[in-house]
Chain A
Amino acid sequence: DAKTTQPNSMESNEEEPVHLPCNHSTISGTDYIHWYRQLPSQGPEYVIHGLTSNVNNRMASLAIAEDRKSSTLILHRATLRDAAVYYCIENRDDKIIFGKGTRLHILP
């Protein structure tokens, strides 16, 4: 199965940028990299996805390494509402494989 590895937890101050790393060492050339987050007592919600190029949307930016073995989710200005578990996942052979995720704590 595809494997993604992320730090168990991270902390950031409110209104500062946050960089959430992910290693996806088994990724193949056609696998998309997806990021979701799960707020307490809710189902996961889509954040962003990409293949090779860096991607931006209203929620975040996704920076993908040139060899695609790692990616970084960037929250440009963290708020308390961004406290959640962030999952970097691979879509391989039409299976979504979730890692353990990173629990992001935002300090006011």
Chain B
Amino acid sequence: KAGVTQTPRYLIKTRGQQVTLSCSPISGHRSVSWYQQTPGQGLQFLFEYFSETQRNKGNFPGRFSGRQFSNSRSEMNVSTLELGDSALYLCASSLATFGELFFGEGSRLTVL
């Protein structure tokens, strides 16, 4: 079966812009979680959605937001981009909240 698909894979933005990243989970998975990975901070949990509801949120500013649609696809948005937002953004899907997580390959965001 198809894995977790993230789009776009690579993108470049400038400071102050906003960005939207998309994640299509494995068919049948209702939980989608998002992570930021940087060399300095490692992998950090952003938030988790289950059946269109945000159930958990990490320690990120309000500029980071997300949503989940009825087909379980999820988007995350970062507004007013800062240089420090440059990172690999990973999403993961699972059958249940934090069951076995299946990760996508990530979207690599560069902020100039």
CB of A15 to closest CB in B, whole Å: 28
Interface string of A66-108 (1 = CB under 8 A from B): 0000000000000000000001000101111111110000000
Q: Which of B22-51 contact A (CB under 8 A)?
A: 33, 35, 42-45, 48
Q: Are B90 and A101 in contact (CB under 8 A)?
A: no
Q: In the docked arrangement, what's the CA distance between A46 and B105, Å?
A: 14
The listed residue with most A CB atoms (<10 A of its CB), out of B44, B59, B103, B105, is: B103
**Could you tell me how many residues of chain A have their Cβ less than 8 Å away from some Cβ of chain B?**
20
Contact in complex: B97, A94 (CB < 8 Å): yes
The answer to whether A45 and B103 touch (CB under 8 A), given A94-B48, A94-B56, is yes
Instruction: Say which residue of A41, A44, A91 sits within 8 Å of B103 (CB atoms).
Output: A44
Q: Which of B44, B97, B101, B102 has its CB near the most chain A CB atoms (within 10 A)?
A: B101
Q: Does B42 contact A98, Cβ atoms closer than 8 Å?
A: yes
Residues in B neighbouring A46, C-beta threshold 8 A: 100-102
Is B106 part of the contact surface with A, judged by Cβ < 8 Å? yes
Whether A42 contacts B56 in the complex (CB less than 8 A), given A87-B43, A95-B45, comes out as: no
Nearest CB in chain B to that of A41: its residue = B105
Whether the Cβ atoms of B45 and A44 lie closer than 8 Å is no
Return the CB mask of A22-53 against B: 1 if under 8 Å, else 0: 00000000000000100001111110010000
Using a CB–CB cutoff of 8 Å, the interface residues on chain B facing chain A are 4, 33, 35, 42-45, 48, 55-56, 58-59, 90, 92, 97-98, 100-106
Residue ranges of A at the interface with B (Cβ–Cβ < 8 Å): 1, 36, 41-46, 49, 87, 91, 93-101
